[in-house]
Amino acid sequence: MNQLGPGVATLEHEQTGRTDPDAVDATLAASGDASAFERLYRTHVPRVYGLIRRMLNDDDVDEVAQDIFVRAWQKLGTFRGEAAFGTWLHRLAVNVILARRETLGIRRKRYLDSDAALETLPARRPGPEMAMDFEAAMERLPDGAREVFVLHDVEGYRHEEIAQMLGLATGTSKSQLHRARMALRQHLER
Amino acid sequence: MSDQWTERLSEYVDGELEDGERVALEAHLQSCTECSRIVGDLRRVVRRARTLQQPGPQRDLWPGIASRIGATPPQAGGVVDLTSRRSPRQWSFSLPQLAAAGIALMTLSGGTVWMLRTGSPQPAIAPVASVSPAHPTVVNAAARPSATQSYAAAMADLERVLADGRGQLDSSTVRVIEQNLQAIDRAIAQAQRALEADPANLYLNTHLAETMRRKLDLLRQAAALVPVS
């Protein structure tokens, strides 16, 4: 999307030159159109929900998902169209999730003690009946390694962005990702 | 088993090594079957992560969200009471006049949308669009100041798409679209003039936003008819 001037976004898709339906709905929603916001919700809830489920070992995924969309509604006025609406929404979702983690008392220490925890991740045993599902293996990663793995490999964020979001050094993000991948490679379907 | 390269294999898979390091590692991979196997596994992990399914919630979360943002549809038979929110009339158009204009506008735009959807340039028997939206429009006070600008930008985009592609559309279709856009523009201008006299009036702001939304809907439908070049 292009900028016409401060705070005024155009809605043209960069590659196709056609109008981005999400951006139009975001504009409508920002003016109070709840139907437009519902369309945005229906489009983006699967990915947002997946992000929450993978980032939080929390029974309150539904509640967190609702918090994210309510926060998005409140913050729509700050969406200027510099990025796609989905990108804006997912960044907001990550912030809500990280705040939730802090509320749950999960501290940065998770990045320091995760090496030992990775050792406890059981290896995949042969035979389909004993196989650990890849998603289940992800859930058993230490919190820090799982966060970096989800943000980088599932959500597509770069290490620099992850480091900024999580308050880490870029090198720590890289090493956590490598450790997570090394643990998960044992749980690949062969 | 590990060697000096083991910890760098993810960076290699992600294309993040400097050229010199990459060349050296690729030379190492020629002779180290363990590292080669790990690189293959890491690539499969990355592919697996990118193809994970994104199952949504098992129950519909929208009603709870709608309730929290104040967008819950009214109960059947319920009436939205706007009188307590209205300030004294200070504009030159009466509410019945605006309501009549709105209904006429919805008829016009509904007819045009019907025409666009069916491909017929004759909107003579067009159905009247629903007078009430599925959900009442909720004014998002935090976002309202930039809404008009954003609408204008959105409409300018769509108008440009339409202008660029009008040569590819049937001339009678273009004529009907333009007639209805002119009618909507007149309604927008009326609402804007009324707002100059009473800028904070909730009804007028909502009416303007709704009229702009209808223009956007119409433009969006029309622009969708233009083939992608």
Calculate what percentage of chain B has a pLDDT beyond 70.
63
Question: Which of A94, A103, A89, A70 has the alpha carbon at shortest distance from B61?
Answer: A70
Has this prediction a pTM greater than 0.80?
no
As a whole number, mean pLDDT of residues B135-144 equals: 48
Closest residue in chain B to residue A80, using alpha carbons only: B150
Closest residue in chain B to residue A174, using alpha carbons only: B11
Rounded to whole angstroms, the Cα distance separating B201 from A122 reads: 64
Q: What pLDDT band is residue B162 in, cutting at 50, 70 and 90?
A: confident
The DSSP-derived string for chain B is ---TTGGGHHHHHTT-S-HHHHHHHHHHHHH-HHHHHHHHHHHHHHHHHHT------SS--HHHHHHHTT-PPPPTT-----GGGPPPP-SSS-HHHHHHHHHHHHHHHHHHHHHHHHT-S--TTPPPPPSS-SS-----TTTHHHHHHHHHHHHHHHHHHHHHHGGGS-HHHHHHHHHHHHHHHHHHHHHHHHHHH-TT-HHHHHHHHHHHHHHHHHHHHHHHTSPP-
**Which residues of chain B are within 8 Å of residue A182 when distances are taken between CB atoms?**
38, 42
Question: Which of B154, B158, B147 has the alpha carbon at shortest distance from B209?
Answer: B147
Tokens for B184?
A: 């909507």
Question: Which of B148, B146, B152, B145 has the alpha carbon at shortest distance from B208?
Answer: B148
The per-residue b/e assignment along B65-95, b for 16 or more CB within 10 angstroms, e otherwise, is bbeebebbeeeeeeeeeeeeeeeeeebebee
Q: What is the ipTM of this complex?
A: 0.77
CB–CB contact A31 B48 (8 Å): no
Tokens for B15?
A: 């294309």
CB nearest B137 (choices: A24, A32, A41): A32
**Which residues of chain B are within 8 Å of residue A49 when distances are taken between CB atoms?**
54-57
How many other CB atoms are there within 10 angstroms of residue A22's CB atom?
Answer: 22
**Which residues of chain A are within 8 Å of residue B144 when distances are taken between CB atoms?**
30-32, 77
Which of A32-36, A73-77, B11-15, B78-82 has the least mean pLDDT? B78-82
pLDDT in tens, A134-159: 888 998 899 889 999 999 999 999 99
pLDDT in tens, A44-88: 999 999 999 999 866 789 999 999 999 999 999 888 877 899 999
Closest residue in chain A to residue B66, using alpha carbons only: A34
CA A106 to chain B, closest CA, distance in angstroms equals 24
CB–CB contact A11 B154 (8 Å): yes
Across chain A, mean pLDDT equals 79
* Cβ–Cβ contact A46 with B under 8 A: yes
As a whole number, mean pLDDT of residues A168-173 equals: 95
Q: What pLDDT band is residue A121 in, cutting at 50, 70 and 90?
A: low
